Structure 1
Amino acid sequence: MIRSIIKNQECFSIVQGLPEPGQDHNLVWLEVHTPTVEEGTILQQRFGIETAKKNSNVVEDGQFLYMRSRLLALDDNGAPHFGGVTFALGEQLVAIICDDANFQSFDIALQRLRRKPANGQSPKAIMRSLLQIANDRADELVDQIAEELEKRAEDISEISDGYNANGMELGVPDLIETMRALNAKEELIALCIETQLSLARTVRYLSSEIDSTNEADLQGLVNELAFDVAGVKEHAYFEHQKVQYLQKSVTNILNIKQNQIVKVFTIITAVFLPPTLVGTFYGMNFAVMPELSWEHGFVYSMGLTLSAAVLPLIYIKRKGWLR
C-alpha cells in the first residue's frame, strides 16, 4: 500500500497510491506499507527508491540515505504496537517503508505540517517532524506505564497489609497476579528503551546530513529533538528500574507470606506433637496400665494431654515465635 503527500504552495494533500507523473515535483513524502514486487519495481524505476530490506541499519546508494529504526505506534485504544520502519531520505522527498501494513504511526504528522507549513520546507525538515511524532508516541506510552506502576505500587502495599480498601482479604494469588502484570510492563518498557536507542541513532544520522551553515534553524530543531529523545530514554530507564524494584518487592512479600504459612504449620505440628505422643502411649496394649483402674484416670489422661499441648504453646509464645 502506498500513500503520497503532495505539497502545493503551502497546502499538503494526500493521494492514495502514487500521484500522476506530472506531480512528481510536488511530491514530498511517500508512505509505503509492505510493498508488493510490482510496487517496489515502480518505486525503483520512477524515484530510485529501493524497498528491499537492507542488511545494515544505515545504507547510502547515492540517491537516498536509508535509515532503519524500530518505532512505536499507538492504536485508537492506546495499545502499543512496535514495527520496523526504514526512512529513505533524498534531495526531493522522504519515503517511509514499513514492514507492517497495520503500523500507522505518522497520521498526526500531516496535521502538524498543515498547521506549521514551515516544518515541511524540505525532506529533512519533514523527516525531523516524523521522528518527533515517533518520540512523542514513546513519551506518551512511558507516561502511561508510569501511571500504571503507581497503581501497582498501591496494590502491593495493600497486599502487604493483607486487606484492600474495601476490607477484602488479599493473599498469595493476588501477589501472583501482580507479578504477572509487572512482568508484562517490564517487557513493554524494555521495548520502549530499544525504540529510543534506535530513534536516537536515526536522529544522529539525520543531524549529520544537515548543513549547519545554511540550515541553522533546522539544525537547532534536530538538536532539540536529540535532547527530547534522550530525555524519554532516561525516563524509560527510570521506569524500568522502578518495575524491577516492584518485582523484587512482590517477591519478598511472597516469600514472607509463604514463610508465614510454613510457620503456622510448624507451630501446629509443634503444639500437637506432644499430645500425639501421649495418646500413642495410651494406645499401647500393655497388660498393666494403672490409670485404667483409677477413679479419675480419664480426667488425668485428658489433663496430661492438654498440658502437653499448652506447655509448648506457652514456650513458643514466650520465645516470640508467634509474631
Structure 2
Amino acid sequence: MPMLRTYGPNCDGSVIDPGKGQRIPDDATWIDLEEPTREEDSLVEQCVGVQVPTREDMTEIEPSSRLYEQNGTLYMTMSALYGVEDGRPRSDPISFVLTGNRLVTVRYVTPKPVRAFQHHAHRDKLLVHDALSAIYGLLDSIVDRLADELESAGAEIEKISAHIFAKQTSARRIPADRLTALLTRIGRAQTLLAKIRETAVSTGRLLSFLSGSARLKGEKAESVRDRIYSLSTDVHSLIDHSSFLGDNLTFLLDASLGLISIEQNAAMKLFSWAALVFLPPTLIAGIYGMNFEHMPELKWLFGYPMALTMIFVSAVVPIWYLKRRGWI
C-alpha cells in the first residue's frame, strides 16, 4: 500500500497525502516512502531537492550503484531480511538518501525492525531529532533483529545436529520420511542463513561507506560516528558467526547424505545376502528338477532326503561363513 510518513521533533509519523494538498513539515528529519507513487516521489523531491531512487535503481547489485555520493548527498541501498515469520525468508532492497538534515527511505516491503523503529520514533521523538540519529536508529534496529534471527538459526541447527546424531536405541533402519524431513529442515535453515548473511554483508558495506563519508567527520558527529563504528563491529561479528553456522550446516548436510548412503547400502546388502543364501539351494533344486531319463538318485530310496539335506547344508554354510566374517 503506497504510504508517505514523516518523523521528527514535531512529527509523529502521520501519513502525508499529496492528493489532499498536504505538505511535508519543515522539521521532518525522516521521510519514509513505502511503495511510493509518482506524486509522492515528486513531493519528496521538491521538498528535499534531490532525486528519489526508483525501483529499478534499487535492484542494481553493483556496489558503485548501491553506495555513492552525489553533490553532497549520500545514496545507500542495502538488502533487508523479511518474511521469516511466515516461514519464507526473503530479502528486498531498502534505499537511504541522506541530504542535509533529512533522511529519506524508500522501500517496497516492511521488515519487522523498520516497523518496530517506527513505533519507537512515534513514542520517543529524540530518536529522530536529526537525520543521523534517525539512520543510526534504523540500522541499529535492523542489526538487532538480524542478531535475533541468527540466534534462532543457530538454535535450529543445534536441534538438527541433535536429531542426526541422537543415540539409536535399536538397530532399526531410519525411515525414509524421517530422512526427507531432515533434508527439508536443513534446506530451510540454509535458506534462512543465506538471507541473514546477505543482509549482514549488505549492512556492513553500508556502515563502512557511511562511516567513511564526510557527514561523520567533525566533533558534532563524533557520538554518532562512535555508535556507527560499534554497530559496524557488531555486524562483522554476525558475519563471522554466520560463516561458522554455515560450515556446521554443510557438515550436517554431508552427515545426512552419509546416513542416506548407509541406508541404501544396507538395503543392497540385504539383497546381496539373500541372493547368496538362496542361490546354492536353488541350484541344487534346479539340478534335481531336470527331467532326464538317467538320474540314479530319482530311483534311490534316500534320494529325496539326500537332496533336502544338500539344500539345507548349502543354505546354512553361506550364512555361517558370512557371520564368521562379520558381514551379517
Whether TM-score is above 0.5 comes out as: yes
1:318 has 2:320 as partner: no
Distance in 2 (CA, whole Å) between partners of 1:138 and 1:307 is: 68
Deviation at 1:311, TM superposition (A): 0.6
In the other structure, the counterpart of 2:13 is 14
1:108-164 Cα offsets, whole Å, 9 max, x none, are 113444666544332112101101111112111111111111211122124x7376x
Q: 1:125 to 1:135 in 2, by over 3 A?
A: same
**Aligned counterparts, 1:201-280, within 5 A:** 201-208=205-212, 209-280=215-286
Q: 1:81 to 1:16 in 2, by over 3 A?
A: farther
In the other structure, the counterpart of 1:193 is 197
Deviation at 1:198, TM superposition (A): 0.5
Distance in 2 (CA, whole Å) between partners of 1:85 and 1:319 is: 65
Residue identity opposite 1:122 in structure 2: D
Distance in 1 (CA, whole Å) between partners of 2:324 and 2:151 is: 51
Distance in 1 (CA, whole Å) between partners of 2:124 and 2:234 is: 20
Distance in 2 (CA, whole Å) between partners of 1:255 and 1:88 is: 53
In the other structure, the counterpart of 1:176 is 180
Q: 1:169 to 1:311 in 2, by over 3 A?
A: closer
In the other structure, the counterpart of 1:50 is 52
Q: 1:273 to 1:173 in 2, by over 3 A?
A: same
Distance in 2 (CA, whole Å) between partners of 1:272 and 1:23 is: 88
Gaps of 5+ in 1: none
Deviates more, 1:108-117 or 1:198-207: 108-117
1:262-320 Cα offsets, whole Å, 9 max, x none, are 11111111111100110110121211122222222221111110111111111111111
Indicate if the aligned counterparts of 1:74 and 1:137 stay in contact, CA closer than 8 A.
no
Deviates more, 1:41-50 or 1:16-25: 16-25
The number of residue pairs the alignment matches comes to: 315
Match of 2:155 among 147, 165, 186: 147
Distance in 1 (CA, whole Å) between partners of 2:31 and 2:101 is: 11
Deviates more, 1:75-84 or 1:273-282: 75-84
Residue identity opposite 1:128 in structure 2: Y
Residue identity opposite 1:314 in structure 2: W
Distance in 2 (CA, whole Å) between partners of 1:16 and 1:22 is: 10
Residue identity opposite 1:316 in structure 2: L
Distance in 2 (CA, whole Å) between partners of 1:115 and 1:229 is: 27
Distance in 1 (CA, whole Å) between partners of 2:70 and 2:159 is: 50
Distance in 2 (CA, whole Å) between partners of 1:22 and 1:262 is: 75
Residue identity opposite 2:147 in structure 1: D
Percent identical pairs in the alignment equals 23
Aligned-pair Cα RMSD in Å: 2.5
Deviation at 1:260, TM superposition (A): 1.1
SS in structure 2 of the partner of residue 85 of structure 1 = strand
Match of 1:108 among 104, 116, 128: 116
Deviates more, 1:134-143 or 1:56-65: 56-65
SS in structure 1 of the partner of residue 316 of structure 2 = helix
Deviation at 1:17, TM superposition (A): 2.2
Deviates more, 1:223-232 or 1:119-128: 119-128
Residue identity opposite 2:140 in structure 1: Q
1:64 has 2:68 as partner: no
Indicate if the aligned counterparts of 2:77 and 2:206 stay in contact, CA closer than 8 A.
yes
In the other structure, the counterpart of 1:128 is 136
Distance in 2 (CA, whole Å) between partners of 1:254 and 1:318 is: 27
Distance in 1 (CA, whole Å) between partners of 2:287 and 2:178 is: 45
Match of 1:307 among 272, 294, 313: 313
Indicate if the aligned counterparts of 1:72 and 1:137 stay in contact, CA closer than 8 A.
no
Q: 1:72 to 1:130 in 2, by over 3 A?
A: same
Residue identity opposite 1:184 in structure 2: R
Indicate if the aligned counterparts of 2:6 and 2:16 stay in contact, CA closer than 8 A.
no
Indicate if the aligned counterparts of 2:200 and 2:239 stay in contact, CA closer than 8 A.
yes
Q: 1:32 to 1:146 in 2, by over 3 A?
A: same
1:37-92 Cα offsets, whole Å, 9 max, x none, are 22222222232242324350123332631101001135666864421100011112
